[in-house]
Amino acid sequence: MDKTLTWCGINLEWAYSDLLGYIRYKVACPHQAKDILHDAFIRFTVSGSANRDIEPHAYIRSIAKHLIVDAYHANQRFVSLDADAGLQHAWLNEPTLSVEHLNDIKQRLEVIQHILEQLPPRCRQVFWMYRVEGYTHSEIAAKLGISKNMVERHVMRAILDLSSARALIAAD
């Protein structure tokens, strides 16, 4: 019996060991690396690209590479105030993830994917543009020809739906 946990064709053990290790090596901060990996999962989920289904590992790796570059550019605008440089290398001693932990991650990702799929198309599009692509409310309103107030409503609805799912997951 194959014990490999997959989600949307992605081997989660590979994602949380090899891919996360690669991201950690590039950004040198374990917290930022996990944020990048989770943002990659969100972009992968919302993406409608044909490459997503053909080569899911290559596709999510390319998403992660783009996010690493974006993080680098964002970090260039700030001065690092790390009080403890030892924190950056704490991930080297981190234990591997258990099958139970990977299964939990898979279930959480499936809940998030389901919620994003249930959003109305315009709401999902606005949330994508705001959260993933980084557009401001004003820019989204101008691009989509809707009011800024409507953009705020769409973003708020998506956040509330995701927050309610977070509460459900935490209750389990």
pLDDT digits (tens, 9 = 90+) for 57-113: 888 898 999 999 888 887 777 655 554 455 555 445 555 778 888 888 888 888 888
105 occurs within a structural domain: no
Q: How confident is the model at residue 1 (pLDDT cuts 50, 70, 90)?
A: very low
Q: Is 86 found in the same domain as 8?
A: yes
Q: Which of 67, 97, 127 is the last residue of a domain?
A: 97
Residue 4 lies inside a defined structural domain of this protein: yes
Is 26 within a domain? yes
Q: Domain range spanning residue 166?
A: 119-172
**pTM for the model:** 0.50
27 and 40 Cβ atoms separated by less than 8 Å: no
Nearest of 32, 130, 139 to residue 78 by alpha carbon: 32
Check whether residue 133 and residue 59 sit in a common domain.
Answer: no
Are 70 and 141 found together in one domain?
Answer: no
> Can you list the alpha helix ranges (DSSP code H) found in the chain?
12-14, 20-27, 30-46, 51-54, 56-75, 99-118, 121-127, 137-144, 148-171
Q: Is the pLDDT of residue 136 over 60?
A: yes
